[in-house]
Structure 1
Amino acid sequence: MTTNMFEGKKVRLRGVRADDWVHFLRWGSDSEADRHGWQVWPPQGEEAHREFARQESLKKPESGNFRLIIETLEGEPAGSLNTRVDPRRFSFEYGIALGRDSWGHGYGEEAVALVCRYMFGELRLHKVHAWVYAFNKRSVSMHRNLGMTLEGTLRDGQFTDGRFWDVHIFGMTDAEFFAKHGEHWGDLDQPAGR
């Protein structure tokens, strides 16, 4: 058993390093994957990616706002995850992006569960929200598997690929998370009640 609460059975979460720019450059070159993540950005040069990774590597996680690299247990970067806390509501949102070659392996689901366990169990937050394109069937399935509830749909809520798309809003409370995933961080892969 690992003693790192940011490590699961498939992935570990780690801080951004300056040399991660190569991964951001590669991930940012796949417009369709970007679209599933949330937004397609114009291409940026190598130096822009170097500077982004350098700046992210210097940031200290403050008040639950941070960006982490999702990597396999073999050390291969699979994507990134960032969080934003709303301290007044004791809630947080996150964004997750996986490189296309990392889709379908359960990396995203485990990464989100690790972050939820930290945010609920260490920062005393009460609720998480996720905004997901209705057309992103993988992400919709992942959020349901995590135990999140579809709380609403913003009709024509976001524009991409030449049109407006519906956006699902998923949510889960800390109590719902712990009921599904266990009370202690070592229980993450065990059903509740074991």
Structure 2
Amino acid sequence: MPGATFLEGDVVELCTVESEDAAFLTEAVNDPAVRQSLGVADPRGRQHHEEWIEEEVNGGDGITLLVVADGDPVGVVSTVWIADRNGHAILSAWIAADAHGEGYGSDATATFIEYLFDEKRMHSVRAEAYETNEASNALLQSIGLDRVGTIPEGAFVDGEFVDSHVYATTADDWRAQRE
């Protein structure tokens, strides 16, 4: 059962992550369609996710929210790094395989970016997507992030090294696109 609604998008809610969400996280993250795009090579059991929720989500420096559609968890959006002094955040998002193609990732990511700019006073936001993850590359471009670089062979996916594309936007550019 998802936690309290923290942010509302057009089609998703971004909710607090609760210990009960460990079962969903375990199922979704172990799915090859999700774990390969996250760079997860090892199996992750429920205990791992319970500890992650306790230590990282509830006790870490980042922000992690459960993406919820029609009352059901469908993914996660989070900051993997925040530099408050510089006003910069790196974000990550994933959607469970059975919820792909519904617009949940776009809505969740855009809603989260707006929060980072409007409430956390970030000046810029960055994300990465492996070159093999066409959906994530398209999503980041479609919501208004610019591809600003490539890390050559920056990830090991499905037995080979692949490039990792870097996307970013500033608060001013983000707001200008939405006017």
TM-score when scaled to structure 1? 0.82
The answer as to whether partners of 2:66 and 2:76 remain within 8 angstroms in 1 is yes
Matches of 2:45 and 2:85, distance apart in 1: 38
3-state SS of 2:14 partner? strand
Identity percentage over the alignment?
A: 28
Residue 180 (structure 1) aligns with: 177
Residue 64 (structure 2) aligns with: 67
3-state SS of 1:6 partner? strand
Q: Aligned-pair distance for 1:55?
A: 4.0
Matches of 2:34 and 2:39, distance apart in 1: 9
- Write the letter of the residue equivalent to 2:12: V
Residue 44 (structure 2) aligns with: 44
Q: Deviations over 1:32-64 (max 9, x none)?
A: 31111x21232233333333334456337x5xx
Structure 2, gaps ≥5 residues long:
none
Matches of 1:177 and 1:5, distance apart in 2: 21
Deviates more, 1:153-162 or 1:97-106: 153-162
Q: Deviations over 1:92-117 (max 9, x none)?
A: 01111110011111111111111111
Matches of 2:6 and 2:64, distance apart in 1: 16
- Write the letter of the residue equivalent to 1:111: A
Residue 25 (structure 2) aligns with: 24
Matches of 2:53 and 2:121, distance apart in 1: 29
Matches of 1:160 and 1:57, distance apart in 2: 26
Matches of 1:127 and 1:134, distance apart in 2: 22
Q: Aligned-pair distance for 1:82?
A: 1.3
Residue 184 (structure 1) aligns with: none
Q: Which runs of 4+ in 1 moved over 2 A?
A: 44-60
Q: CA RMSD in A?
A: 1.8
Q: Give 2:96's match in structure 1, choosing from 94, 99, 112.
A: 99
Q: Aligned-pair distance for 1:120?
A: 0.7
- Write the letter of the residue equivalent to 2:155: Q
Matched, 1:153 2:133: no
- Write the letter of the residue equivalent to 2:75: G
Matches of 1:124 and 1:10, distance apart in 2: 24
Residue 84 (structure 2) aligns with: 87
Matches of 2:19 and 2:35, distance apart in 1: 21
Q: 1:133 to 1:8 in 2, by over 3 A?
A: same
Structure 1, gaps ≥5 residues long:
182-191
The answer as to whether partners of 1:120 and 1:126 remain within 8 angstroms in 2 is yes
Residue 74 (structure 2) aligns with: 78
TM-score when scaled to structure 2? 0.89
